[in-house]
Amino acid sequence: MNPETTLTDLRAAVAAATTPAERAGALNQLAKKLEQQSQYAESLAAAEEAHAAAKEAGDGAAEAEALRLQGIVHQRRSEYPTALALLANSLKLFEELGNRSGVARATNNIGIVYRSLSEYPKALEHFSRALALHEELGERSDVARVTGTIGIVYAHLSEYSKALEHFSRALAISEELGNRAGIAEATNHIGNVYGRLSEHSKALEHYSRSLAMYEELGNRSSVAIATGNIGIVYNRPLSKV
């Protein structure tokens, strides 16, 4: 989906759909965009409609994707058992279809649920499986994203050298792809690790870089987070900055 595509465009595509298969595809795109904008109730409704349309069309891939999108919304709402059940069904369907990219995405989403539950070994197991599949498929942007996610888990576990290793790899791939949002995110995570290690000058360097990128991208929520992180560094004793 083009990042520039608006909700108005996607709703128009749903209205213009003439077959159940077209409607399922358009509704899945709409559900994804709504979830990205934190409009969870509408996203869930669209994904449920997509699931019904996909079943009517006999479109297994669209059905599996609709289940995955429903699972993501329930994860966002902290409804973890429901999320896991939906994602497990999505994963099973993708596996039956031989859709390895879908398998990777659903597996990654299951990992995110386990991370939310602080079940880090299970989270790492699923993220590692997803990463291996994305690498085999040559899906570089997904490799960068999942590598960064693994870094977050290691940071939670206070395994900072492993966290830095994964964030640095995610950063390198994002730079290779010219993915400025990915660069900003990985840079901010590296700043977090240096902050936890009390290497405040390095933390400040990375936070400042990520802040500049977030400002260029117009990502206001991330600008606020990066600005707050810089404030935390400056509130440390001067001898440590």
Tens-place pLDDT, residues 142-176: 999 999 999 999 999 999 999 999 999 999 999 99
Phi, psi angles (nearest 5°) of residue 140: -65, -40
Tell whether the model's pLDDT for residue 15 goes beyond 60.
yes
Q: What's the rounded Cα separation, in Å, for the pair 82 and 84?
A: 5
Q: Quick check: helix, strand or coil at residue 72? A: helix
pLDDT, averaged across the chain: 95
List pLDDT tens digits, range 185-201: 999 999 999 999 999 99
Q: Is 233 exposed, middle or buried (0-12, 13-18, 19+ CB in 10 A)?
A: buried
> Quick one: DSSP state of residue 55?
H
Tell me the two tokens of residue 65. Answer: 């994707």
Residue 3 binned pLDDT confidence (cut-offs 50, 70, 90): low
Q: Which domains does the chain have, with CATH numbers?
A: 1-138 (1.25.40.10), 145-241 (1.25.40.10)
Residue 109 binned pLDDT confidence (cut-offs 50, 70, 90): very high
Q: What's the rounded Cα separation, in Å, for the pair 187 and 192?
A: 9
What confidence score (pLDDT) does residue 14 get? 96
Q: Averaged over 212-220, what is the pLDDT? A: 93
What confidence score (pLDDT) does residue 235 get? 80
What confidence score (pLDDT) does residue 239 get? 37
Tell whether the model's pLDDT for residue 238 goes beyond 80.
no
What confidence score (pLDDT) does residue 1 get? 59
Model confidence, pTM: 0.89
